[in-house]
């Protein structure tokens, strides 16, 4: 497959859209929500959606933030990995529910658990982060953005 448009070109073509999505991400970061956690949910949503660009982009970002490699390796199977905190599990379950986006996926049990772990304020930002990565996934997949090469693999 070939790229229909790359991220840089999309940013120039739809500058206001790209800036709006980036503004949401900046608001989430400013909220105090753990950045490593937000990268994990972005990776998981991107995996669930099948977005290679966003998966690689957020793996790179998570590595720069120092998210343990074991968590990055096992985020796709987080339920069975035994290494994620209760807060991470709640966030990942909420991510999967919102990414699947069916009335059946957003259960009262999943909502109660994530609200218990994050409270109403942080939950609003977590939900915004999930919505934003899902929007980016759809944009990146529509235009077939080429996955970014991780810095440690640039010479391969």
77-96 per-position pLDDT tens digit: 999 999 999 999 999 999 99
Domain that holds residue 106: 7-149
**Residues sharing a CB contact under 8 Å with residue 133, sequence separation 6 or more, in sequence order:** 41, 42, 45, 46, 54, 58
Look at residue 74 and give its three-state secondary structure: helix
pTM for the model stands at: 0.92
**What is the domain count for the chain?**
1
pLDDT < 50: residue spans in the chain: 154-156
50, 122, 137 from 145: Cα distances, Å:
13, 31, 10
CATH of the domain at 144: 1.20.1290.10
Query: Is residue 1, in this structure, part of any structural domain at all?
Result: no
């Amino acid at each position: 497959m070939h790229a229909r448009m790359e991220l840089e070109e999309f940013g120039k073509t739809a500058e206001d859209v790209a800036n709006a999505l980036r503004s949401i991400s900046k608001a989430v970061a400013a909220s105090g929500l753990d950045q490593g956690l937000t990268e994990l949910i972005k990776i998981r949503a991107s995996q669930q959606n099948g977005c290679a660009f966003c998966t690689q982009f957020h793996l790179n970002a998570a590595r720069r933030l120092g998210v343990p490699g074991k968590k990055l390796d096992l985020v796709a199977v987080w339920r069975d990995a035994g290494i994620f905190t209760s807060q991470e599990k709640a966030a990942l379950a909420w991510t999967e529910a919102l990414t699947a986006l069916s009335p059946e996926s957003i259960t009262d049990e999943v909502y109660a658990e994530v609200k218990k772990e994050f409270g109403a304020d942080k939950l609003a930002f977590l939900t915004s982060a999930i919505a934003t990565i899902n929007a980016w996934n759809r944009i990146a997949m529509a235009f077939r953005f080429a996955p970014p090469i991780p810095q440690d693999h640039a010479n391969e």
